[in-house]
Amino acid sequence: MSQPPGIGHNSGADLRGYTGRLHQWRRARRALLGAALPIEVVRLRVARAAALGLDYRTYAGIRATTGRDVTALLFSSNALGMIRRAELDAARAAKLAAVAAERGVLVHPPLPVTAPDPLDFTARAPGFAEPWSALRDRLRAVLAGRGLPADAVVMVGDTAFEREWCAAIRAAGYVPASRYFAGI
């Protein structure tokens, strides 16, 4: 007569299917979120989130997802309020001037492709009819031209169309302009 399986044995259950993967993902997520960080690390990350103009929860989520720090913020011209003119209002310009990372803007036509102060770089925003692959390749080229890895760039936009850009280039995350500029 054989003995029953010991403690920790899964009794032969197959963990390769969807349920098994879900279980493993939940376990890994609990371990990641349950790990206590040293207070010095938390303080540094809170300061870094503030230097980027992000709330700590958003920054911590991006860090946990990508495993790297944010090196650039990429805005749409809509997110910056550049609707009829390629100019920033004083409050948004002041917030962007304090950001400790590269700052870029994707400008929608018919605005000129210029980067008003304090932005570092600019490019033409993808058009509505542009194929997904062309959109992806063009935006990746913009980031590659600056030496920026896509998973270290946070996109700030104002429309669902702009949210798709984040997925196209596999950026670190997307933040709605209303949340990024809340309180100014």
Determine the structural domain holding residue 89 and report its residue range: 68-180
Within a domain: residue 12? no
Within a domain: residue 108? yes
Token reading at 136: 């992806």
Residue 99 CB: number of other CB atoms within 10 A?
17
Nearest alpha-carbon partner for 91 in 155, 156, 182: 182
Q: Is the pTM of this model over 0.85?
A: no
In the numeric block, the tokens 């008003």 are attached to 116
User: How does residue 9 score in pLDDT terms, banded at 50, 70 and 90?
Assistant: low
Instruction: Give 56-102 pLDDT, tens digit per residue.
Output: 999 999 998 898 999 999 999 999 999 888 889 999 999 999 999 99
Token reading at 180: 């990024």
Within a domain: residue 126? yes
User: How does residue 115 score in pLDDT terms, banded at 50, 70 and 90?
Assistant: confident
